[in-house]
């Protein structure tokens, strides 16, 4: 669906006027508009759906450059339910106005593809952060009791994109982008202030948990797992001279391939009876997995001699349940500084196993879990020293006096005494 709009350019005053139906925005260069509702005709003039967008005037010279956010679902008139209860979306809109409704609204792709500069990415993510603050303020106004979960995405997405700015050891670090090297620390400082505000506004007997499900580390080098499998004779190509030319496994000779990588950390055995062209017999499975694991752990960066893979996790040792058969056979836990490259994740073989990461996506957490531990803080004493993400569901249920299902993995992080005092 399309919706035409008109832009009137005033080069003398470096401004534009944007007309979308009855909506008007006047922007200077370097300025974001407010949210603008946009209606799309679904079945002629009798059926319409509404979205919202923000415009950003990037430049008038030497070329006119105008950015628009992806069309977000209009929270004041949602085209489909995006909350439960369905009316929550509109209630929030009535309190704070329009807001991003897409998941992870920080536009990392616009930044990666050169549409945003570092400064413009910071500006766009600040809009997201301010909206989150307004949302938190609104929900705290209504909070008396019950379970309240609130998520800030700003630190995660900023660590991904601006790690290189603060890290002089990153290959993408420059004197120019270093001026934004303090953005990550600034966000953490501001989150301290947010936490202080929350503590003042919740009831004294409320249980407060602050947590992240992972930490962060630098992402200096890309690892092409499929190229490594090829060089170690676990994968065969139809045309070996065309390494680096064929994405999506199009050059793989499956009838002579024992394993392949898919996704950032997943390694799969080409198992007979499971894969459509599987060749590895079930009785060969364990020996093959052990061989691959041992060679991955022994692999060293040819430039530095550093261990590239710190941990190798067998799915049948870390997962259980009915969906176990759909998990990767091996989860590759990279050493901090290394991560599976995007090309490998989509079945593309590069000419070398390791390459420098010059992308703006320069921090990450898809590594061995002990390289990127999360954080857990609470205003209640903990009964265990090693809280795990899987403990959260059990803990929350028991806080509200409910026993978790027998098949639920996890422990309560609080003691019986603490729970009984609630």
**Bond before 85 cis per omega within 30 degrees:** yes
Per DSSP, what are the bridge partners of residue 103?
A: none
Q: Which of 222, 238, 221 is nearest to 230 (CA)?
A: 238
Each residue's pLDDT, cut to its tens digit, for the chain (422 residues) gives: 899 999 999 999 999 999 999 999 999 999 999 999 999 988 766 688 999 999 999 999 999 999 999 999 999 999 999 999 999 999 999 999 999 999 899 999 999 999 999 999 999 999 999 999 999 999 999 898 899 999 999 999 999 999 999 999 999 999 999 999 999 999 999 999 999 999 999 998 999 999 999 999 999 999 999 999 999 999 999 999 999 888 899 999 999 999 999 999 999 999 999 999 999 999 999 999 999 999 999 999 999 999 999 999 999 999 988 899 899 999 999 999 999 999 999 999 999 999 999 999 999 999 999 999 999 999 999 999 999 999 999 999 999 999 999 989 999 999 876 767 66
What is the Cα 333 distance to its own chain's centre? 18
User: What strand order describes the sheet that includes 23-28?
Assistant: 6-10, 15-20, 23-28
Q: Which of 107, 36, 43 is nearest to 74 (CA)?
A: 36
Q: Which of 191, 253, 206, 161 is nearest to 422 (CA)?
A: 206
Q: Per residue in 259-309, pLDDT tens?
A: 999 999 999 999 999 999 999 999 999 999 999 999 999 999 999 999 999
In the numeric block, which tokens belong to residue 43?
């079945």
Dihedral over Cα of 33, 37, 39, 40: its sign: positive
In the numeric block, which tokens belong to residue 221?
């080098």
In the numeric block, which tokens belong to residue 340?
């599976």
Helix (H) or strand (E) run with residue 91 in it: helix 88-96
CA pair distance 349, 345, nearest whole angstrom: 10
In the numeric block, which tokens belong to residue 288?
């093959």
User: What are the DSSP E strand ranges found in 217-307?
Assistant: 217-223, 259-261, 266-269
Per DSSP, what are the bridge partners of residue 160?
A: none
For position 86, what pLDDT does the model report? 92
- Write down how long the chain is: 422
Query: Would you tell me how many other CB atoms lie within 10 Å of the CB of residue 102?
Result: 13
In the numeric block, which tokens belong to residue 51?
């979205």
Domain ranges (residues) in the chain = 1-80, 103-206, 221-370, 383-420
Q: Which of 203, 212, 82, 192 is nearest to 140 (CA)?
A: 203
Q: Which of 154, 217, 196, 150 is nearest to 374 (CA)?
A: 217
Q: Using DSSP, state whether 38 is helix, strand or coil.
A: strand
Q: Using DSSP, state whether 17 is helix, strand or coil.
A: strand
User: What strand order describes the sheet that includes 65-68?
Assistant: 31-32, 55-59, 65-68
CA pair distance 183, 279, nearest whole angstrom: 50
Which residues are CB-neighbours of 247 under 8 A, at least 6 positions away? Answer: 343, 346, 347, 348
Q: Which of 59, 49, 84 is nearest to 9 (CA)?
A: 59
Provide the 8-state DSSP code for 103: S
In the numeric block, which tokens belong to residue 338?
């290394």
**Bond before 62 cis per omega within 30 degrees:** yes
Backbone angles phi, psi at 324, to 5 degrees: -55, -40
Buried b (16+ CB within 10 A) or exposed e, 253-276: ebeebbbbbbbbbbbbbbbeeeee
Helix (H) or strand (E) run with residue 135 in it: helix 118-141
CA pair distance 218, 199, nearest whole angstrom: 32
């Amino acid at each position: 669906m399309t919706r035409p709009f008109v832009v009137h350019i005033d080069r003398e005053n470096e401004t534009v006027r944007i007309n979308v139906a009855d909506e008007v925005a006047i922007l200077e260069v370097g300025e974001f508009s407010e949210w603008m509702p946009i209606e799309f005709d679904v079945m002629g003039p009798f059926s319409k759906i509404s979205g919202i967008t923000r415009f950003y005037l990037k430049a008038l010279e030497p070329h006119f450059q105008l950015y628009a956010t992806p069309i977000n679902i209009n929270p004041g008139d949602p085209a489909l339910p995006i909350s439960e209860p369905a009316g929550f979306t509109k209630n929030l809109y009535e309190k704070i106005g329009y807001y991003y409704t897409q998941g992870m609204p920080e536009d990392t792709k616009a930044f990666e593809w050169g549409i945003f500069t570092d400064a413009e990415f910071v500006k766009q993510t600040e809009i997201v952060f301010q909206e989150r603050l307004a949302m938190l303020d609104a929900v705290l106004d209504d909070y008396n009791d019950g379970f309240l979960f609130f998520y800030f995405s700003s630190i995660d997405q900023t660590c991904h994109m601006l790690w290189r700015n603060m890290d002089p050891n990153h290959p993408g670090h420059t004197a120019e982008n270093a001026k934004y090297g303090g953005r990550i620390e600034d966000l953490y400082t501001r989150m301290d202030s947010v936490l202080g505000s929350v503590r003042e506004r919740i009831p004294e007997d409320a249980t407060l948990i602050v947590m992240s499900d992972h930490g962060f580390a630098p992402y200096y080098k890309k690892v092409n797992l499929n190229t490594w499998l090829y060089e170690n004779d676990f994968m065969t190509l139809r045309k070996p001279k065309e390494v680096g030319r064929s994405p999506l496994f199009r050059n793989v000779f499956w009838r002579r391939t024992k394993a392949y990588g898919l996704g950032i950390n997943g390694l799969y055995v080409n198992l007979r009876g499971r894969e459509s062209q599987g060749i590895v017999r079930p009785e060969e499975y364990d020996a093959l997995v052990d061989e691959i694991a041992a060679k991955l752990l022994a692999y060293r960066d040819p430039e530095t001699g550093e261990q590239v893979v710190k941990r190798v996790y067998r799915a049948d040792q870390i997962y259980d349940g009915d969906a176990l058969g759909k998990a990767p056979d091996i989860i590759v836990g990279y050493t901090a500084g290394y991560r599976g490259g995007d090309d490998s994740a989509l079945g593309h073989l590069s000419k070398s196993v390791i390459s420098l990461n010059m992308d703006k996506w320069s921090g990450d957490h898809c590594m061995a879990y002990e390289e990127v531990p999360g954080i857990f803080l609470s205003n209640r004493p903990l009964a265990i020293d090693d809280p795990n993400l899987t403990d959260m569901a059990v803990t929350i249920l028991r806080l509200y006096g409910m026993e978790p299902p027998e098949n639920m993995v996890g422990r309560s992080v609080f003691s019986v005494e603490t729970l009984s005092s609630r």
